Amino acid sequence: MQVTYDFSGRVALITGAASGVGRATALAFARANAKVAVADIADEEGRETVRLIRAAGGTAEFFAVDVRDEQKVKAMVDAVVETFGRLDFAHNNAGIEVGMTPVADADMDGLRRMLDINLCGVAFGIKAEVPHMRKNGGAIVNTASALGLIGGYRGGLYAATKHAVVGLTKSAAVDYADKGIRINCVCPGPIDTPFIAEFPPAVIERMLYGTPIGRVADPAEIAQAVLWLCSDGSSYVCGHALAVDGGIATGAVSTKMEDLWEAMAQADAPAG
């Protein structure tokens, strides 16, 4: 079931909107009658998101941006406001993951790339968006990760950047809550993307073992969480890191031992 919203007359900006969660969020805002600014470094794919929105009767424009560049982010946000006249919602979603390697073996160039995009890109977004939201208020949602709430095997560098996004979100929320701007973040678990679909079945099975709900998320499920955090339904939610992760951050998966208990019970059962 999808909850419906009406954001008529509002403008939503989504970075990393060329695919995955970003595209799903852009489409969801459009279905809720918002005008949508689709921002991404991937020109062709970003324009495809715009085409999909327009084909469904929505309003959208594409804005090319490299979120690693503070001045380009500011220029992009200013262009969004010039085009649509205002900015009400922003989903700072652009992010990357570079390998899953123990910290001591990791390529630190990968860390720098992740910091530039996952953390600096979000910080640049907030810095550029807040001034435009001071007049009418607004809501900002950043994309962190379930690995922004817990540690991850061989994922220390990626987890560090996403923990940083959570910390940035909480601090920025305190800075601007009294200005009518609510800032929160979503922390997704594994999501059904072409990247995950290419994993061998054994890898997906192991991934789902650590996911209590037992499946990967549809990108639209993450989008629904973003829209809720932008809606009046979450009007008292501020500085929150919302886990949308199928229970990963709840932990305790190591206690899932039914198969082992059954095997031991059968081994101890009298013969015959």
The catalytic site residues sit at 158
Q: List Cα–Cα distances, 156 to 125, 130, 159, 189, 216, in angstroms.
A: 24, 31, 5, 16, 22
CA angle centred on 53, ends 50 and 54, rounded to 5°: 85
> What gap in Å lies between CA 50 and CA 62, rounded to an integer?
6
Per DSSP, what are the bridge partners of residue 242?
186
> What gap in Å lies between CA 249 and CA 95, rounded to an integer?
20
